[in-house]
Chain A
């Protein structure tokens, strides 16, 4: 592997890892704060990608699609929390698994009814459609760099919100001890709703950003869901920073696995997880 192709794979790993972080951060926050295992989180990613396809076709611009999509998914997320997930907080994990499994079936079939089962493409916005030449034959698409940039900005923003704002303080406190937070007169239900809706919007945003490079296809959510689980397990449940580290590790392992040993690429990620489980059964960073 020469330097240019190595650089390309490094950038791809970074971009994939950061995108996975957007999905996994919402999942880990919902686990950490509400104690809910949400199998439908991968569907949120799928919904985002399909929204990007439908809204881009309607408005003609991915930017408009994303601008419309974020508030839309936030509202749908808040509604789902109110209608379904708020009834699950005191239930067993098994019932949470069951309900969210049912939701996956519903979302996939609704997708099939409304948009169909074909594979769709979404155009890269014209200003980002260029490529940067790296050598005589190799070049790197600008759009992938834009995705990485957006993800880094969002990660920093998430850090700022969680560490530096009053809402973030309440979220961290809720992660630590929800009963105590409630006793201090904070409306924990409102916090739950905001965090859940935020998680939905982040996963959907990841789907919208990924739509032009991965294309839009049925069952695209389930693979992302399982990889996100692996990230949460490696990073430690409830730890956003653990999720960031783990997402980058998985991004690199998966990308280089595909390049170096294509036959076994699907397994590399899970082997990384097995090693981490032997080393630290509760993840690299524990909840806290």
Chain B
């Protein structure tokens, strides 16, 4: 796809998303809002998995830390200021990622997958077991943060339509930020680490610092998604940090094809779509989901994004699709 085509494709997608509140169906608006939040979450993980080559299986921790931070930092019966809780909760999740990163980045490969999972589980227990997190019931966020600046209120997060456009705006900002980062020398180093870390080291790059920066950044961006999730749903539970959440977001990244930011967004939509469709068939939708995942790994190496190329090859090459 040429860059002009790709630009048109992205703008068309954005226009389509911007039209969702016009349907007036609050069910679809909330579903789309939830999906956009997951899309931001998936993009933040893609920075690690798709671009830096770090397969984190504990990304839900940073999502959950930010979500809990909003609930804990907001006063019980009045609105907190958006301009205080948003940076604070995102900062806390980035800080959590920085601390965890110092440990987990000492390991590689299979170890890294297991250790990120274990630290996410540690975070899960922090909110599940200690008095801080309100146990397995979680905490309610009674009043959504207010966007007031010195008496002027630009938009209200209580309003579902305003909230939807706020989330869509956040998605665009996170996308543009990541796209810019990946074009920068810093992003180039990350991609270099993915393809050959030893070579990057022998070229004089202190790869540990770059990986730690990427891990912290991904944690902070995942925190934006966690913040938005708490605001959309108005309550937080330890389930937000569970390893199923980490598994699902990894699934979205892989569904969309790793190392492709638009793919991560598409992956979030495909995932939510499958969840809704299978869920409407049967209570045991996870069985169908599991079978789809297993079949996809066995028969479709390369993920969804590799499908068009495979079809093209099959049509041109007349049969052989390997």
Q: Which residues of A contact B (CB under 8 A)?
A: 31, 35, 37, 84, 87-88, 91, 93-95, 97-99, 101-106, 108-110, 112-113, 222, 226, 229-230, 232-233, 237, 263-267, 270-271, 273-274, 277-278, 281-282
Question: B81 in the interface, Cβ–Cβ < 8 Å?
Answer: no
Which of B55, B109, B254, B287 is most buried by chain A, counting CB atoms within 10 A of its CB? B287
Instruction: Give the secondary structure class of B's interface.
Output: helix
**Known A226-B118, A270-B119; contact A102-B113, beta-carbon cutoff 8 A:** no
Contact B125 A267 (CB under 8 A): yes
The interface residues of chain B lying within 8 Å CB-to-CB of A282 are 107, 111
B294 contacts chain A at the CB level, 8 A cutoff: yes
Bound complex: CA A87 to CA B294 (Å):
11
**Are A93 and B110 interface neighbours, CB within 8 A?**
yes
Contact of A37 among B110, B247, B301 (CB under 8 A): B110
9 pairs, A vs B, C-beta closer than 8 Å: A97-B55, A101-B247, A102-B293, A106-B294, A108-B286, A229-B114, A264-B130, A270-B119, A282-B107
With a cutoff of 8 Å between Cβ atoms, the chain B residues found around residue A281 in the complex are 106-107, 111
Q: CB within 8 A of A270: which of B55, B125, B287?
A: B125
Given the interface pairs A229-B118, A270-B122, the reply to whether A263 lies near B106 with Cβ below 8 Å is no
Closest chain-B Cβ to A113's Cβ sits at a distance in Å of: 6
Smallest distance from the beta carbon of B173 to chain A beta carbons, Å?
Answer: 28
The CA of A229 and the CA of B120, in the complex, are separated in Å by 13
A222 to B245, CA, bound (A): 13
Quick check: A98 and B251 within 8 Å, CB to CB? yes
CA distance A105 to B288 in the complex (A): 9
Chain B residues touching A, range:
35 or more
Question: Contact flags (1/0) for B116-127 with A, using CB distance below 8 Å?
Answer: 011101101110
Q: Does B271 contact A (CB under 8 A)?
A: no
A102-B289 contact given A84-B294, A266-B125, A267-B122, CB 8 Å threshold: yes
Note all chain B residues with C-beta closer than 8 A to A37. Answer: 110, 113-114
A232 vs B115: C-alpha distance when bound (angstroms) = 10
A104 CA / B301 CA spacing, docked (Å): 20
In the complex the two chains form, what is the Cα distance from A101 to B287 in whole Å? 12
Complex: chain A residue closest to B114, CB-CB = A229
Top 7 nearest A-B pairs (CB, nearest first) are: A102-B293, A266-B125, A105-B290, A109-B287, A106-B290, A270-B122, A99-B297
Residue of A99, A109, A230, A237 most packed against chain B (CB within 10 A): A109
Q: Assuming A113-B284, A264-B130, is B290 touching A102 (CB within 8 A)?
A: yes
Shortest CB distance B138–A (Å): 16
Residue of B nearest to A277 (CB): B103
Are B110 and A31 neighbours in the complex by a CB distance under 8 Å? yes
Which residues on the B side are within 8 Å of A113 (C-beta)?
284, 287
Contact of A273 among B115, B125, B293 (CB under 8 A): B115
- Taking a contact as CB atoms under 8 Å apart, the answer to whether B293 and A95 are in contact is no
Given contacts A31-B110, A226-B243, A266-B129, contact A102 B291 (CB under 8 A): yes
How far is A101 from B296 in the complex, measured between Cα atoms in Å? 12
Residues of B within 8 A of A104 (CB): 290
B298 an interface residue at 8 Å Cβ cutoff?
yes
Any chain A CB within 8 A of the CB of B57? yes
Residue of A nearest to B293 (CB): A102
Most A-side CB within 10 Å, residue of B55, B122, B251: B122
Contact B114 A232 (CB under 8 A): yes
Is the beta-carbon distance between A98 and B254 smaller than 8 angstroms? yes
Minimum CB distance partner of B130 in chain A: A263
Partner of A274, one of B103, B113, B117, B284: B103
| Chain A residues within 8 Å of B117, by CB | 226, 229
Asked if B224 CB lies within 8 Å of chain A CBs, one says no
B128 at the interface (CB under 8 A from A): yes
Of residues 1 through 58 on chain B, the ones whose CB sits less than 8 Å from some CB of chain A are 49, 55, 57
**Smallest CB-CB separation from A223: which chain B residue?**
B121
Given contacts A109-B284, A233-B111, A281-B106, contact A95 B297 (CB under 8 A): yes
B298 CB contacts on chain A under 8 angstroms: 84, 87, 99
A229 to B104, CA, bound (A): 14
For A92, give the chain B residue with the smallest CB separation: B55
Note all chain A residues with C-beta closer than 8 A to B107: 233, 277, 281-282
Contacts of B297 in A (CB 8 A): 88, 91, 95, 98-99, 102
0 or 1 for each of B272-301: is its CB under 8 Å from A? (1 = yes): 000000000000101101111110111001
- C-alpha spacing A155/B251, complex, angstroms: 37
In the bound complex, CA of A264 to CA of B131 (Å) = 10
- Report if B250 contacts A (CB, 8 A): yes
**With A98-B250, A106-B294, A233-B114 known to touch, is A263 a contact of B289 (CB < 8 Å)?**
no
| Residues A103 and B294 in contact, CB atoms below 8 Å apart | yes
Instruction: Give Cα distance in the complex from A264 to B128, angstroms.
Output: 10
Please name the residue on chain B nearest to A96 by beta carbon: B297
CA distance A263 to B133 in the complex (A): 12
Give the CA-CA distance A103 to B290 in the complex, in Å: 6
Please give me the residue from chain A that is nearest to B294 by CB atom: A102
- A109 contacts which of B109, B118, B258, B290 (Cβ < 8 Å)? B290
